[in-house]
Chain A
Amino acid sequence: MTARIGVVTFPGTLDDRDTQRAVRVAGAEAVPLWHKDKDLKQVDAVVLPGGFSYGDYLRAGAISRFSPVMESVIEQAKAGMPVLGICNGFQVLTETHLLPGAMLRNNHLHFICRDQKLRVESDRTAWTADYTVGQEISVPLKNIDGRYVADERTLDMLEAEGRVAFRYLDMNPNGSLRDIAGVTNEAGNVVGLMPHPEHAVEPLVGTGRTDGLGFFTSILKKLVNA
């Protein structure tokens, strides 16, 4: 049976089609989910893609957090369903408090768009099992609200529990504390990161590499073996 991976579209979402394609390239079935629907259509996992949901009004991800679809996503995520938040999706996950910390305007105040090198810091999440700890990958990054912050105690806790999933390499593009590019929840089923693995799953586009494909093959393997 093919794994069904839901991809949520909010008003203002941009990367839902790329994400659906990445899911299919990895060999799973992509199931479009609409922000107004509570029904998750019996998907096995959910991806919250990048963009500017609800125009990023108030704060990035703040209004989406109260959408009907997120009520179901939050409930299922707490019950163990794998959820990946990319860029705006990561912002939504911090607003829901499924992931700790918060996202703020980049320290240089500019929108940034570049190929970003990352170091994989955890292979113990549902979305990173196909990577190895210490592996360096390159995926596109594009955002203006990408500065990850949390208080010192939370940062220490994340480090101690191995919950920093990705760190920026070579340059910190936005002033994120401790060069954090992505984090996971305690159970490892919820992961958020600012850069865009879904734009690096085919050699023709993005970085010209397929370094992002591992996210989607990881989850597929987990669901098939489950």
Chain B
Amino acid sequence: MARVVVDVMLKPEILDPQGQAVQRALPRLGFQGISDVRQGKRFELEVDGPVDDAALARIHELAETFLANTVIEDFVVKVEDAEGAEKVAGYAK
């Protein structure tokens, strides 16, 4: 079993009021010097069998058609190795 991570973020030009609300709360909590926060989604997919190119291509398609709405969101697909470190396997804007 391997884990593939899909990170989905609103495109930079899309207003993110949720991130802004978090950012505005930071000074109140004593955190200074953070000028911007943007909030995204992380999907962790446990994949049966090897994560080969074909499997990654299918996950890329899944991310593009379902996990992200590419009208408003960008996504990144990463494979986690045994140590939990991530390496970027595919990138789409």
Chain A residues within CB distance 8 Å of chain B: 58-59, 62, 66, 94-95, 100-102, 104-109, 147, 149-151, 175
Contact = CB atoms under 8 A, between A and B. Distances in A.
Secondary structure at the A interface, as helix, strand, loop or mixed, is loop
A105 B17 contact: yes
A147 B18 CA distance: 13
A102 B69 contact: yes
B17 A108 contact: yes
A147 B14 CA distance: 11
B72 A104 contact: yes
Given A62-B66, A66-B66, A107 B17 contact: yes
B45 interface: no
Contacts of A59: 69
A102 B72 contact: yes
**8 shortest interchain CB distances as A-B pairs:** A102-B71, A102-B72, A107-B17, A109-B17, A102-B69, A59-B69, A109-B21, A149-B72
A62 B69 contact: yes
B15 interface: yes
21 contacts: A58-B66, A58-B67, A59-B69, A66-B66, A100-B71, A101-B71, A102-B69, A102-B72, A104-B10, A104-B14, A104-B72, A105-B17, A106-B17, A107-B17, A109-B18, A109-B21, A147-B15, A149-B14, A151-B13, A175-B15, A175-B17
